[in-house]
Amino acid sequence: MGLLVANGSCIAQTSVTPYGILDIGVRPLWGMSANNAPVPSSYSTSLASGVDQTSVWGIKAQESLGGGWKALVRLEGGVNGDTGTSAKSDRLFDRHAWIALGSPYGTVALGRQPNLISDQLMLVDPLGKRFASFNPDINIAGLSNTKFGAHSFGTQYGPSGYADNFYRLDNTIKYSADVGPWQARAAYSAGEVAGNASAMSSHGVALAYQQDAWAVSGATMQLRSREDLALDAWSLGAALKLASWQFKTNFARNHADTGIAKTVSQRVSSVGVSRAIGHGLLVTAAWYGVRRAATGWRDDGFNRAFLYVEKTLGPRTTAYLEADTTTWLADAAGQTAGQPNDRHGSGLTLGLKQKF
């Protein structure tokens, strides 16, 4: 009998939760390919994954250690719902793979984790981090995909494992603490380059202040390449609620040394509004402007606008209609087989999202 009671106590203090999201939609495209890159003027139809929310699967675990202390684990991988493949073919858990110790004084997490700008954007991105593969706050401000047009950073900064994608970092130590309305974070990622502790490393801090009706959130980071070239990035945004309306805006900039006397600088401005209408209906509109200056290239960038209409069908199921349009500036549209791509691209998605 005593063993059964002890076992029940352990179960009550420990939890392991598998979870996932599957989001798939039918997506007609004009002037863009299935991966949303500009192409010579054309029309096509594709099946897209993760337009409303990224398709993922994962496991969360937590164990109470007493006295306000707890151990946490999270493993999460991206999924291409349209093909059933992993988002990253070289990693099972490309999004999260960390263990943490939580206490009344904050939480320390060790492993592969999103960078601090990703954390900062949770409160203030106008789209609420929807459409991660096409959202400029995630791609450009958050450093998830800095490659577009005729030029890119072309190298890896920080221990992300990929060139032009530094949104999640290996070997990361992240400290986070909530003190009243304040949320503070600091992180360091080890580059693990023999003989050079600075190369491929990253470090930064983030701070947010959140009330019921408004929030301000900012982060700054520095990342290094294997050649010890610096990439400096910062992001600052705000959110405001007025009755059933919500307004969000964010401004971000990054500057990278890409070689001897060579640099790339990028800026992102974004603004958006959302409104709940009736029962379970949410409408969101957002605009993003991206500008880039790179040594040896014309200044370029793009403007992108989104409209979302989401209908909650059940506690875990959402249907949605999404529309987007992009205008690439200067040489940002690039070329395909020597032929200039269309400077304007549009997409429309009718999708269904299920959380489990």
**pLDDT tens across the length of the chain (356 residues):** 443 334 444 444 899 999 999 999 999 999 999 999 999 988 999 999 999 999 999 999 999 999 999 999 999 999 999 999 999 999 999 999 999 999 999 999 999 999 999 999 999 999 999 999 999 999 999 999 998 887 889 899 999 999 999 999 999 999 999 999 999 999 999 999 999 999 999 999 999 999 999 999 999 999 999 999 999 999 999 999 999 999 999 999 999 999 999 999 999 999 999 999 988 999 999 999 999 999 999 999 999 999 999 999 999 999 999 999 999 999 999 888 888 899 999 999 999 999 99
List of residues 6+ apart from 260 with CB closer than 8 A: none
How many whole angstroms separate alpha carbon 49 and alpha carbon 185? 31
Tokens of 39: 């192409």
DSSP β-bridge partners for residue 157: 225
Tokens of 56: 């993922």
Give CA torsion, residues 26, 81, 144, 275, to 10 deg.
Answer: 50
DSSP β-bridge partners for residue 77: 57
* pLDDT in the model for residue 6: 41
**Residue 171 region by backbone torsions, left for phi larger than 0, else alpha for psi between -120 and 50, else beta:** left
Under DSSP, the state recorded for 196 is B
* pLDDT in the model for residue 343: 94
* pLDDT in the model for residue 31: 95
* pLDDT in the model for residue 324: 98
* pLDDT in the model for residue 129: 97
**Amino acid found at 36:** N
Q: What's the chain's length in residues?
A: 356
- Contact predicate 304/324, CB 8 Å: yes
**Amino acid found at 86:** S
How many whole angstroms separate alpha carbon 255 and alpha carbon 220? 12
* pLDDT in the model for residue 151: 81
* pLDDT in the model for residue 35: 92
Judged by DSSP in three states, 120 sits in helix
Task: Locate the domains of the chain by residue range.
Answer: 15-355
* pLDDT in the model for residue 154: 87
* pLDDT in the model for residue 187: 98
- Contact predicate 217/124, CB 8 Å: yes
Distances (CA, A) of 132 to 2, 54, 139, 223, 351: 51, 7, 7, 22, 15
Q: What is the pTM of this model?
A: 0.93
Judged by DSSP in three states, 45 sits in strand
Q: What own/partner pairs with CB < 8 Å and gap ≥ 24 does 64-67 have?
A: 64/13, 64/14
Under DSSP, the state recorded for 341 is P
State the residue for tokens 């096409």. 134
Pick the CATH number of 15-355 from 3.40.50.1000, 2.40.160.10, 2.60.40.3500, 3.40.50.2300: 2.40.160.10
* pLDDT in the model for residue 152: 85
Picking from 51, 34, 80, 7, the residue whose alpha carbon sits closest to that of residue 320 is 51
Q: How many Å from the N-terminal Cα to the C-terminal Cα in the chain? A: 36
Under DSSP, the state recorded for 12 is H
